[in-house]
């Protein structure tokens, strides 16, 4: 029984290939989320920059 279980276990190089493929798929799956987060940050920085420009205007000018 133990011999049959050992025969079906993938070798270390095969496990590394599978791990690499899973890592690549996870990276590809996360790409849209990373792009969205980046765009939200860019938009928020623009909004905050304008807000602080308005707040820092000298009212005497």
* CA atoms within 13 Å, Cβ hemisphere of 28: 6
pLDDT tens figures, 3-59: 555 567 778 889 999 999 999 999 999 999 999 999 999 999 999 999 988 888 866
Question: In this predicted structure, what is the pLDDT of residue 9?
Answer: 78
* CA atoms within 13 Å, Cβ hemisphere of 17: 5
Question: In this predicted structure, what is the pLDDT of residue 55?
Answer: 84
Q: What angle do CA 19, 8, 11 make, to 5 degrees?
A: 45
Distance CA 19, CA 21 (A): 5
Instruction: Reply yes or no on whether the pLDDT at 1 is more than 70.
Output: no
Q: Answer for the pair 44, 52: CB distance below 8 angstroms, yes or no.
A: no
Distance CA 11, CA 21 (A): 15
pTM here is 0.54
């Amino acid at each position: 029984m133990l011999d049959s279980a050992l025969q079906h276990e993938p070798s270390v190089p095969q496990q590394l290939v599978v791990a690499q493929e899973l890592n690549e798929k996870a990276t590809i799956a996360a790409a849209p989320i990373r792009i969205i987060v980046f765009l939200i940050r860019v938009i928020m920085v623009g909004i905050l920059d304008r807000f602080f420009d308005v707040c820092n205007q000298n009212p005497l000018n």
